[in-house]
Amino acid sequence: MELQALIYIFVGISFSIYIAIAVWARAGSTKEFYVAGGGVPPVANGMATAADWMSAASFISLAGIIAFKGSDGGAYLMGWTGGYVLLAMLLAPYLRKFGKFTVPDFVGDRYYSDVARTIAVVCVIFISFTYVAGQMRGVGIVFSRFLQVDVNTGVMLGMGIVFIYSVLGGMKGITYTQVAQYVVMIFAFTVPAIFLSLQVTDTFLPQVGMFGQTAFEFSNGVQTIEKGTFLLHALDQSVNDLGFNNYTEPGSVFNMFMLTIVLMAGTAGLPHVIVRFFTVPTVKDARISAGWALVFIAIMYTTIASVAAFSRVNLIANVQNVDYKQFVNGELKKADGTTNDGNWFKTWEQGGLLAWNDRNGDGKIQYANGAAFAGKPAFDGTKTAEDGHRLTTNGAGAPTEAELKANNGIANEIYVDRDIMVLANPEIANLPNWVIALMAAGGLAAALSTAAGLLLVISASISHDLFGQVIFKDKATGKSTLTEKSELRLARGAAVVAILVAGYLGINPPGFVAQVVAFAFGLAAASFFPVIILGVFDKRMNKEGAIAGMSVGLTFTFVYIVYFVFMGGAKEDYLFGIAPTGIGTIGMIIHFVVAYFVSRATPPPPQEIQDLVESIRIPSGAGDAVDH
Amino acid sequence: MTEEKAQAYWKENIRTILSLLVVWFIVSLGAGVLFINQLNAIEISGVKLGFWFAQQGSIYAFVVLIFVYVYKMGKIDEKYGVSE
């Protein structure tokens, strides 16, 4: 069947399921809207959490990052899974026992302060919006590639779908939709991975195949790698020959260490993840549900690591020293006699995410360490060379002596955007059309589920925390003067506004979506993670300590990232050589230290707060998530 | 629940968490990051140990850790009569 028709069918069916679920699970109260009524079974909640967590970045980009970074990429794998251990043991059970709707709820109540609550609301909104901008862009890219529409049209379509199920269904709708999305997503990721694993290593399970032996012989341009070589040896040998760092060795152990910590603490401190644990019935369920979430995430992440290794080998084996014209026309054969069809190369070149610059003029593609263009390739309109490849205006000149010497006589001629590795993989490996169609449905599920979860957190922060708990707070009773109905209406309104802003950010992305993700994790690690841990584990922690800790930790992290990422601070000036991506670790430590000393120098929290902490620590009697 | 009992419960909770977090640190930040190069020297049929911990092993260990935690806390909750 035609690829395009298959894609329409797969995407169409999966979307109908999501919308049907959303209509079925329509939210009727604020409690259903914010925390799904607190009645989601742990396995379903774990699956929904996994879908919420695994974004377009995980589905589309992560394998690409690891494929090109090798061992350094392990920081993402460990950070984005290890955070759940912290979440399960240090945060989730106590927050569930606390039993409110949002993270600012906890910060505001535990620290008996609207200043703390407002700082928390601002953080939630900032962190969630940086995140959601990337998601909407991801939706746009997948739509544009697979439905062959304009990226902006893709973003609009995505907004429409998210609108239906987050505005109508609230958390209840989102949770059950996400269960379906997880199933679609995991199926879409593992099926191609199994095909790849069989093809590259003759092993069924990708997690095992990654450590297996190659099923074919290939040339990396410098030497021939025999069939039956261990895959990791083949990779280490090949990337080494081509002038890259070894695949299995980290570039800088210290920076990998800092980054892993920031990603772990940041994961545990992300509001849209934490809020998930308000939706289960009991404290015990909150613990179990974190376990299930990690099971479902682990299936995906261990597969991602394997796909990364397969795709790097495939890339080297399939493009090294091939004649461009014959390659894209599908006239080349591999060593085992099968066709090496380069149609994918052409497709992504059209999309501008891949480019070739024939620096030595031999008509063949070469791949090695080094830049073939000054930054990203700048295409010369739609102009093409005689052999059909797109012309660029910022290509590097003829290969230099030093470059050839460093890379065993090979000068790099291509630019490969990391984000295409996963989506292009099935095509590179010549997998059947339905597998590619499945990828499209999976990528959309990943991006939409995360976007919906984030939008809900934003709308809850605005309607519940900002309006309900700060602006419309009755000074005398400390309760919100909003009725349940008007708060629900406000929540839906806030969701609509959030979707529009997210859509705007998706269509006009700040040029630095990739960097701002460092922001989200750094800020979460330097703010929510410490403030919640201290709130539970340190009974003596008071509002002065919390406010001081949050402000100092946040400001430090914020300024460091802004200075080095957006204002062009020089690498030489890094504090102890720490990259901005890992600085949240220091921000977190500063937060802990400042909060400790300030709290000890100021009066202890009132008795009722100390009693509240005592009660959070005991699991029984969690009851329902209560309204104010 | 009396105050002493609550404190004893909390102490046991902290001890459980700390012991599990030590394992958590060793398998991820220890084996997968700080000592990755040393462990990579150990190789069993194509599996470099440090790299395996960083990209596979630590993740499996995390899953096991959470379920061990759930099990142990369940026991402690029962012992103190605070389970539901």
Q: How far apart are the first and last CA of chain B?
A: 14
List the single residue in B47, B65, B82 with the smallest CB-CB distance to A85.
Answer: B65
Q: Which of A232, A257, A288 sits opposite B48 (nearest CB)?
A: A232
Average pLDDT over residues A138-161: 76
Task: Please give the residue that has the higher pLDDT: either A396 or A513.
Answer: A396
Those of residues 22-81 in B touching chain A at CB distance below 8 A are: 24, 28-29, 32-34, 36-37, 40, 45-48, 50-52, 54-56, 58-60, 62-63, 65-67, 69-70, 73-74, 77, 81
Mean pLDDT of A565-582: 80
Mean pLDDT of all residues in chain A? 84
Q: Assign A189 to helix, strand or coil.
A: helix
**In this complex, how many residue pairs, one in chain A and one in chain B, have their CB atoms less than 8 Å apart?**
146
For residue A627, the model assigns a pLDDT of: 46
Residue A518 in this model has a pLDDT that exceeds 70: no
**Residue B26 included in any domain:** yes
**Average pLDDT rounded to a whole number, residues A90-111:** 88
Is a pLDDT exceeding 80 seen at residue A441?
yes
B17 to A334, A628, B22, B25: CA distances (angstroms): 54, 32, 9, 12
Q: What are phi and psi of A354, to 5 degrees?
A: -145, 140
d(CA A565, CA A519): 10
CA distance A510 to A274: 27
pLDDT in tens, A293-316: 999 999 999 999 999 999 999 889
Can you spell out the DSSP letters for A518-583? HHHHHHHHHTHHHHHHHHHH-TT--HHHHHHHHHHHHHHHHHHHIIIIIS---GGGSGGG--GGGT
Q: How far apart are CA A405 and CA A402, in angstroms?
A: 5
Q: Which residue in A68, A62, A61 sits closest to A313, CA to CA?
A: A68
| Helix, strand, or coil (residue A414) | strand
| DSSP structural state of residue A626 | P
pLDDT band at A463 (very low <50, low <70, confident <90, very high): confident
Given a contact cutoff of 8 angstroms between Cβ atoms, the answer to whether A291 and A46 are in contact is yes
- b/e string for B41-65 if b means 16 or more Cβ within 10 A? eebeebbbbbbbbbbbbbbebbbeb
Rounded Cα distance between A36 and A45, Å, is 10
Tell me the one-letter amino acid at A104: P
With respect to residue B68, please indicate whether it lies within any of the assigned structural domains.
yes
Instruction: Give φ, ψ of A549 to 5 degrees.
Output: -60, -50
* Residue at B70 is within a domain: yes
Domain spans of chain A, in order of start: 3-313+434-509, 320-417
Neighbours of A583 (CB within 10 A): 27
- A384: its two tokens: 């093409």
**Which region, left, alpha or beta, applies to residue A468 given φ > 0 means left and ψ of -120 to 50 means alpha?**
alpha
Closest CA to A352 of A389, A318, A326, A307: A389
Higher pLDDT, B20 or A354: B20
Contacts of A192 (CB under 8 A, 6+ apart): A307, A425, A426, A429, A431, A435, A438, A439
- CB-based contacts of A307, cutoff 8 Å, min separation 6: A63, A67, A189, A192, A193, A196, A206, A422, A425
In-domain check, residue B84: no
The mean pLDDT value for A254-268 works out to 92
Tens-digit pLDDT profile for residues A169-193:
777 778 888 888 899 999 989 999 9
Instruction: Name chain A contacts of B9, Cβ cutoff 8 Å.
Output: 617-618
pLDDT at A27 (0 to 100): 67
**Using CB atoms, which residue from A90, A210, A282 is nearest to B84?**
A282
Kindly list the residues from chain B whose CB atom is less than 8 angstroms away from the CB atom of residue A283.
84
| List of chain B residues whose C-beta atoms are within 8 Å of the C-beta of residue A291 | 63, 66-67, 69-70
Other beta carbons less than 10 A from residue A579's beta carbon: 17
| A254 Cβ under 8 Å from any chain B Cβ | no
Give the residue on A whose Cα is nearest the Cα of B73: A284
Instruction: Output the CA torsion sign for A428, A434, A435, A436.
Output: positive
Give the chain B residue nearest A537 (alpha carbons).
Answer: B14
Using the predicted structure, report yes or no on whether residue A264 has a pLDDT greater than 70. yes
Q: Which residue does chain B place closest to A230, by CA atoms? A: B46
- CB contact under 8 Å between B28 and A260, yes or no, is yes
Question: Whole-angstrom Cα distance, residue A620 to residue A623?
Answer: 8
Mean pLDDT along residues A382-400: 85
Domain count across chain B: 1
Q: How does residue A475 score in pLDDT terms, banded at 50, 70 and 90?
A: low
Helix, strand, coil % in chain A, rounded to nearest 5: 70, 5, 25
Q: Which residue has the higher pLDDT, A456 or A117?
A: A117
DSSP per residue, A272-308: HHHGGGGSSSSHHHHHHHHHHHHHHHHHHHHHHHHHH
Confidence of residue A515 (pLDDT cuts 50, 70, 90): low
Q: How far is B17 from chain A (nearest CA, A)?
A: 6
Window A:280-319, CB contacts with B under 8 Å: 282-284, 287-288, 290-291, 294-295, 298, 301-302, 305
Q: Mean per-residue pLDDT for B64-75?
A: 94
Residue A308 CA to residue A413 CA, distance in Å, equals 21
Domain that holds residue B44: 3-79
Q: Is B9 on the interface with A (CB under 8 A)?
A: yes
What number is the average pLDDT over the span A431-454? Answer: 83
Q: For helices B58-79 and A74-86, give the axis angle rounded to 10 degrees.
A: 0
Dist. CA B59–CA B28, nearest whole Å: 8
A509 burial type by CB count under 10 A (0-12 exposed, 13-18 middle, 19+ buried)? middle
Q: How far apart are CA A527 and CA A391, in angstroms?
A: 47
Contacts of A197 in chain B (CB under 8 A): none
| Residue at B40 is within a domain | yes
pLDDT mean over A328-352: 81
Q: CATH for A3-313+434-509? A: 1.20.1730.10
**Are A295 and B63 in contact (CB < 8 Å)?**
yes
- Is the pLDDT at A262 greater than 90, yes or no? yes
CB nearest to B24's CB, from A85, A249, A295: A85
ipTM score assigned to the predicted complex = 0.96
Rounded Cα distance between A290 and A276, Å, is 9
- For residue B25, tell me if it sits in a domain: yes
Closest partner residue to B40 among A248, A287, A288, by Cβ?
A: A248
> Which tokens is A201 given?
């290593």
- C-beta atoms of A232 and B46 within 8 A: yes
The reply to whether residue A294 touches residue B63, judged by beta carbons under 8 angstroms, is yes
Closest residue, chain A, to B71 (C-alpha):
A288
pLDDT at A123 over 80: yes
Note whether A550 and A116 are within 8 A (CB).
yes
More confident residue, A571 or A500: A500
Q: Residue A564, Cα to own-chain centre: how many angstroms? A: 22
Q: Which among A440, A449, A351, A438 is positioned nearest to A136, based on CA atoms?
A: A449
- Residue A459's pLDDT band (cuts 50, 70, 90): confident
How much is the average pLDDT of A237-248?
Answer: 88
B63 CA: distance to closest CA in chain A (Å)? 6
Place of tokens 């073939």: A372
Q: How confident is the model at residue A20 (pLDDT cuts 50, 70, 90)?
A: confident
- What band does A628 get if pLDDT is binned at 50, 70 and 90? very low
The beta-carbon neighbor of A82 closest among B24, B67, B84 is B24
